[in-house]
Every structure is written in structure tokens, then in C-alpha cells.
Structure 1
């Protein structure tokens, strides 16, 4: 049994809207009856009433409805699984990259984490910013098990919620934009202050902070549990983490060694990207009222973790 998000009645056979992600009774299941944000996207063949049979419908001009990406990822498309599941795809990519880092490269290619090959593939370095592939690979690479474990937990809990309300394309763009901007902000600051020999960065924390920033704007009072124990509003967690990053970052700059192996500027840059994007989309997407998976739920806090080779984000 579930509760209708529109009228609050209990429903034995609830309907979950594919566009906004909320649950409704029979009376409010139609998009126009719950003011669904998907009402403004009727031209999307994979929208509110995607039947899976309209991808081949042709306009008079002879072109298929929707864009090429929509046809690939829409219902029945060869990449249809990825629509609505990119959070889990990113999780899988992180662990595949982790296996490449610490098993495939060292054992099969004799490339240890200190080798030039390993660094050139996985680490965004201030000395080699022109290695543009590392702008992406460094997001999925991590410095150790604890690092990837904390980031995986944060992405698992926060990612699907934000993806549900932004839609998959917006969520994917946010994840990569926040991750890339966060990494570049960190290495450019290192390049200016330390030089080309400064530490590089790895990790998805900047991208995850972008996700957290959007969620904070959409629902700042969403209850989360820090370390699964301490309840608090999401805005307290987000800005508390930001304050810690600022203080620790100044400590690193002053040479006190506070968090010297953590890319604090990357965290802040990713968060700023998320906050800015959250302000832009608020009012145009649904507002998540809980952290739910299926119809269960749970909350947590504390994205990110201590770092890896070079600095970790």
C-alpha cells in the first residue's frame, strides 16, 4: 500500500508517474490531474505516455520523431536500459575503472599507480591538462577502496533521486559537467600555486557534489542521515560539508596539513555547479520529497571520502 502524493489517500494499486516519479491514486494518475512537469514535454516520444511503439512514426518530412539519442534510448531502443538508470551505469563504470586501476594495469600491463602509463590514463594532472581523456577518466578513477566506497554510497542514494526528477539526459550532463569542472578547477589552482609537479586528482566527489547541490535546491529540508545515524536537513549537510572544505582548504594553503590529500576546491566547484543548475531548473521539474528506491526508502549523508594518488575528490 502506498500514499498518493497529491491527495494523501492510501492506494492498494498505486500508479508511479514515469516523468515526475511521484506516486498517485487512480484519480490523480493522469499528468494533468497532478500538475506533472512532463505536461510541457508532449513532443518527447519517450515522455509521460511513452508506449514504446512510436519511435518509428515519421513526420511528413520523412524524419523520425524525436532526436537520435531519444530513438536509441527510448522504450524498445537498443540503449533503452540506460534511460532512468545512468546513476547505476556510472556506479558500474566506477568499479570497472577501479578494477582496471588496481588489477588489470598492475598485473597484466606491469603499470603500477606510480607509472607514467597509469598516471596518463587515470589521473588529471596539472602537468598534463592537455590529456583531455583524463578529464573524464579521472572522474571514474579512485585512489583506494575507502575512497570509491564512500563515493559509491553517496551516488547510490542521491543519484537516482535527482535523475528521476531531472530526466536522464539532464542528469548525465550535470554529472559530467560538475565532474569535469571540479577536476579542472583543482588542477588549475594547483598549477598556479605549486606548478606542473603538483598533485593530480581522481574521484567522483566533484560530480556527486553537483548532484547534491541540485537536490539541495530542489528540497533543502529533505531529511538525510549522516553516516546512517544522525538526522539532519539536507541543506545542513550540504553547507556544512562546504564549510569544512573551505576551512580545510585554507589549512592546506597555509601549510597546516588539514586535509592535504583531499581536493577541497574540486568539491566546492562541483557543488557550485549543482547549486547554479538547481536554481535554473527549480520550478520546471518535480520536487523530491523522500529518498526512495522502489517503494522503500532510506537516507544518508556524507558524500566523498579521503583521497588517492595525488589528491582525491
Structure 2
């Protein structure tokens, strides 16, 4: 299910939204990482800084999900998107997948704004990634008897991810948990048995 065996061209064709998100995040990381002043200014203009959001820079509720603090930060999030995103895009549908990803990332940033403190700052796609996990959690909730193997894979991943959120320093705990919850709630709507029947 989560083992990627497609060729590069097949992956792009089958999962265009996952591919686009991967490309955007990697491109933004490259552009904002260039050793020039303009790149540094571009990066800091998108960081989620709460007191600047309070001053009216509302775009900082959106842009942090496309910025990363370092190469390992980017690789971890993009690896998770690369592995888990395609199956969600296939099961939920392209538009629904994108909705889950973007809304989970947005509300993770909104929660970080309201709960993170005046001087709190953050970047990263982790809230959106946790939204993917949450959506799979909702799918498990509805299909635990039909697809026990999905439960055996997803639940340990969610549990380990949440535990690591609290153990690793410098992690936006608020964003991770908010993204997970939002993804789960949206997933409950999208994957409700009555709605799935209506897709057919």
C-alpha cells in the first residue's frame, strides 16, 4: 500500500497533486536557501511569526507550510509526503486530498498563532503531513474490520509520530497535534460510508 513501485513518469501522472506539492516545497527550499540577501529576505517574509501576524501580515498563516528550517527538516516532511500522500490522493480523490493537506496545514498555523504565544515562530509542512496521518486515522476508524492491515500500519505510525513530537526539541507540538486533529475530522466527513457509496 505504501511501497512506491511506480516509475517517475507514472508517479507524476497518477499523483499530480502530491508531485506538485513535492516540487513546490523543494523549489521554495532551494530558492530561499541561496546565499544571497534576497533569498534570506524571502524566507523571513514567510516565517510564521505571531506578533507579525497580529500586525496584519496574515499571509504568514499560509506560507510557513512551504518553508523549512533545514535540509533534514525538508527531507523528513517530503519523504512522508512521497510515501503516504499518493495513497490518500488515490483513495480520497485529488481535490479531497488537496483539501485535507491545505486545511490541515492552515489550521495548524492558526492554532500555533492562537496558542503559541506572542513571540512564537515556526515553519514546516509538518501540520499538513500530520493532516494526512489524521485522514488515514479516520479511514481506519471506518474500515478497521474490512482492512485490518491498514490499521496495523497506520496506527503505529500515528502513535510513534505523536510520541516523537513531544520528545524532539524545537518541534511545533501545537501544529502537529492540530494538523492531526483537523485531518481526522475532515477524514471523518470524506470517508463516511454513506458518502463513499455516493462516489460510486
TM superposition score category, shorter chain reference: 0.7 to 0.9
For the Cα contact (< 8 Å) 2:116–2:174, is it kept in 1?
no
Q: Deviations over 1:55-102 (max 9, x none)?
A: xxxxxxxxxxxxxxxxxxxxxxxxxx8884101100000011101211
Hey, which bits of structure 1, 4+ residues long, moved more than 6 A? none
- Given that 1:212 and 1:238 are in contact with CA atoms closer than 8 Å, whether structure 2 keeps it comes out as yes
The structure whose residues are more often helix, as a share, is 2
More strand by share: 1
Is 1:240 matched up with 2:160? Answer: yes
Q: Are 1:210 and 1:271, in contact at CA under 8 Å, matched by a contact in 2?
A: yes
Measure, in 2, the Cα distance between the counterparts of 1:118 and 1:152.
Answer: 18
The match for 1:58 is none
- Listed as ranges, the gaps of 5+ residues in structure 2 are 1-11
Q: Provide the C-alpha distance between the structure 1 equivalents of 2:51 and 2:13, rounded to a whole number of angstroms.
A: 35
Q: Could you tell me how far 1:223 is from its partner in structure 2?
A: 5.4
Alignment of 1:108-127 (within 5 A): 109=38, 112=40, 118-120=43-45, 122-127=46-51
1:99 to 27, 30, 38: 30
- Post-superposition offset of 1:201: 0.9
**Residue-by-residue CA offset, 1:182-224 (whole Å, 9 max, x unaligned):** 0121232122xxx2xx231111110011111111221364459
Map 1:191-202 to 2 at 5 A: 191=117, 195=118, 198-202=119-123
TM-score normalised per structure 2: 0.78
Query: What is the CA-CA distance between 1:242 and the residue it aligns to?
Result: 2.3
**Aligned counterpart, 2:52:** 128
Give the TM-score of the pair, scaled to structure 1: 0.51
